Structure 1
Amino acid sequence: MPEKVLDLFDQMNIQPDQVVFNTLFSACARVANDRAKEIGRKLLHQMPKQFHNDIVLLNSAIDMLMKFGDVENAENFFQTMKKNIITYGAMMKGYVENNMNDKALDLFEQMPLNPNNVIHIIVFNACAQILNGRGEEIGRKLLHQIPKHFHNDNVLLTSAIDMLMKFGDVQSAEKLFRTIKKKML
Structure 2
Amino acid sequence: MKIGKELLAKMPENYRNHNVISTSAIGMLMKFRDVESAERIFRSIETKNIITYNAMIKGYVGNETFEKAIYTEFNLGYVGNEMFEKALDLFEQIHLGLTNVTYTLVLNACAKLCNDRAMKIGKELLAKMPENYRNDNTTSTSAIDMLIKFGDVESAERIFRSIETKNIITYNAMIKGN
The normalised TM-score by structure 2 is 0.70
Give the 3-state SS of the residue equivalent to 1:15 in structure 2: helix
Give % identity: 32
Structure 2 match to 1:92: 74
5+ residue gaps, structure 2: 1-5, 169-178
Q: Deviations over 1:115-160 (max 9, x none)?
A: 1000000001111111111111111100110112212212111110
Q: Deviations over 1:98-118 (max 9, x none)?
A: 011112112212223111000
**One of 147, 156, 171 as aligned partner of 2:139:** 156
Letter in 2 for 1:85: E
Over the residues paired in the alignment, what is the CA RMSD in angstroms?
3.3
Structure 1 match to 2:7: 15
Give the 3-state SS of the residue equivalent to 1:99 in structure 2: coil
The alignment covers a number of residue pairs equal to 157
Q: Deviations over 1:42-73 (max 9, x none)?
A: 221255646334445566677778x7463465
Distance 1:106 1:57, change over 3 A: farther
Q: Does the CA contact (< 8 Å) of 1:55 and 1:83 recur in 2?
A: no
Q: Does the CA contact (< 8 Å) of 2:29 and 2:37 recur in 1?
A: no
Q: Does the CA contact (< 8 Å) of 1:92 and 1:107 recur in 2?
A: yes
Range that drifts further, 51-60 or 112-121: 51-60
Structure 2 match to 1:44: 23
Structure 2 match to 1:4: none
The normalised TM-score by structure 1 is 0.68
Q: Deviations over 1:65-109 (max 9, x none)?
A: 8x7463465347535723432222222111111011112112212
Structure 2 match to 1:143: 126
Distance 1:44 1:148, change over 3 A: same
